[in-house]
């Protein structure tokens, strides 16, 4: 493998009319989770955080977050979660929003300064959350998530509520930020172009199942150094997977 999987996710279950059944590894770096609306992207992300209960297993960095016998509640999972509309706590200032998770995760105050600098939040710290623009809210939400010392960062369509300019400003910032993180990041978006600018590891979800799990570049890296027999076996498996995907009515 080119990238060591830091974690693995295997989840099944029904949520409303949707049947989810997925299994994938979580390498360090950004994995995009994309697919049409209603395909279960957000549900899957919520399940990884423990906000939604599905069967299966989630393991990360040698820790079991859930399996047949265990289920860690969300507050016991070292996860950073960025909600679609930021979900800042409306009764707290920006600074107290950042401190809320930082204190509970046992991070030092000086680590706040680092993250604040990274996301250029210094001028916003004393502000009420109601007086932030959409882009500012998301930056605060991302900083807040990072300040919980996460082993896994989950982002649920963080740019979907923003206008074009705010998106264009925040996207390169995110890319720079992610490149500095040494943890797996799962980034949910229905926008393939947005995803393409962040990572080349993409999982496509269709009606609760994974349609494809790797880009050509990732595949090439995967094949380097393998024997001919191995490559042939992988190719056969890929063709088989591709055929079964093509046969399914696409969403």
Partner 1 sequence: MFEVVRLTLTLAAVTTVLLLLVATPLAWWLARSPSWWKEVVAAVTSLPLVLPPTVLGFYLLVALGPDSPLMAPLHVFGVRTLAFTFTGLVIGSIFYSMPFAVQPLRTAFEAVGREPMEAAATLRASPLDAFFTVAVPLARRGFLSAAVLVFAHTIGEFGVVLMIGGGVPGRTEVVSIRIYQLVEALQYGQAHALAAGLAAFAFISLLVLFLIDRRFSRLGA
Return the residues of window 182-221 that contact partner 1 according to CB under 8 A.
none
Q: Among residues 28, 72, 105, 125, which is the contact residue for partner 1, using CB under 8 A? A: 105
Interaction pattern, residues 165-184, with partner 1; x per rule: CB under 8 A:
--------------------
Alpha-helical (H) ranges within the chain are: 41-49, 94-104, 109-118, 134-146, 164-179, 192-196, 216-223, 228-247
* The pair of three-digit structure tokens given for residue 202, joined into one six-digit string: 């993409």
Return the residues of window 1-60 that contact partner 1 according to CB under 8 A.
49-51
Question: Do residues 193 and 45 lie in contact, with contact meaning Cβ atoms separated by under 8 Å?
Answer: no
CB of 80 to partner 1, least distance (A): 7
Question: Do residues 60 and 151 lie in contact, with contact meaning Cβ atoms separated by under 8 Å?
Answer: yes
Nearer to partner 1, 21 or 52 (CB): 52
229 by DSSP, 3-state: which?
helix
CB of 130 to partner 1, least distance (A): 5
**If you search the block for the tokens 């605060």, which residue do you land on?**
140
Contacts of 73 (CB under 8 A, 6+ apart): 50
Q: Among residues 91, 110, 228, 247, which is the contact residue for partner 1, using CB under 8 A? A: 91
Q: Does 79 bind partner 1 (CB under 8 A)?
A: yes
Q: Does 225 bind partner 1 (CB under 8 A)?
A: no
Interaction pattern, residues 126-165, with partner 1; x per rule: CB under 8 A:
--x-x-------------xx--x-----------------
Q: Among residues 14, 53, 104, 175, which is the contact residue for partner 1, using CB under 8 A? A: 104
CB of 4 to partner 1, least distance (A): 26
CB of 42 to partner 1, least distance (A): 12
Task: Please tell me the distance from the alpha carbon of residue 66 to that of residue 233, in angstroms, as a whole number.
Answer: 32
DSSP state string for 127-164 = SBGGG--HHHHHHHHHHHHHTT--SEEEEESTTTTS-H
Q: Among residues 7, 27, 40, 101, which is the contact residue for partner 1, using CB under 8 A? A: 101
Q: Does 247 bind partner 1 (CB under 8 A)?
A: no
Nearer to partner 1, 142 or 204 (CB): 142
DSSP state string for 56-67 = EEEEETTEEEE-
Please name the helix (run of DSSP H) or strand (run of DSSP E) that holds residue 18, with its range, or none: strand 18-27
Please name the helix (run of DSSP H) or strand (run of DSSP E) that holds residue 187, with its range, or none: strand 184-188
- Which residue ranges make up the site for partner 1 (CB under 8 A)? 49-51, 73-76, 79-81, 83, 85, 87-91, 100-101, 104-105, 128, 130, 144-145, 148
């Amino acid at each position: 493998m080119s990238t060591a999987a830091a974690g693995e996710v295997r989840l099944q279950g029904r949520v409303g009319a949707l049947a989810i059944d997925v299994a994938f590894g979580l390498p360090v770096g950004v994995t995009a989770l994309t697919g049409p609306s209603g395909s279960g992207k957000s549900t899957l992300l919520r399940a990884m955080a423990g906000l939604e209960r599905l069967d299966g297993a989630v393991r990360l960095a040698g820790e079991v977050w859930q399996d047949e016998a265990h289920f860690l509640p969300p507050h016991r999972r070292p996860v950073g979660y960025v909600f679609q509309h930021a979900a800042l706590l409306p009764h707290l200032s920006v600074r107290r929003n950042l401190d809320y998770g930082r204190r509970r995760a046992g991070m030092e105050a000086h680590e706040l300064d680092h993250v604040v600098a990274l996301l250029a939040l210094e001028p916003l710290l004393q502000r009420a959350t109601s007086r932030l623009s959409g882009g500012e809210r998301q930056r605060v939400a991302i900083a807040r998530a990072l300040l919980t010392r996460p082993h896994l960062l989950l982002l649920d369509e963080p740019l979907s509520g923003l206008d074009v300019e705010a998106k264009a400003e925040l996207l390169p910032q995110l890319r720079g930020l992610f490149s500095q993180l040494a943890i797996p990041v799962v980034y949910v978006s229905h926008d393939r172009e947005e995803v393409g600018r962040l990572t080349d590891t993409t999982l496509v979800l269709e009606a609760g199942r994974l349609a494809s799990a790797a880009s050509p570049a990732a595949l090439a890296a995967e094949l380097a150094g393998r024997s001919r027999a191995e490559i042939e076996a992988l190719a056969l498996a890929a063709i088989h997977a591709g055929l079964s995907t093509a046969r399914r009515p696409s969403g």
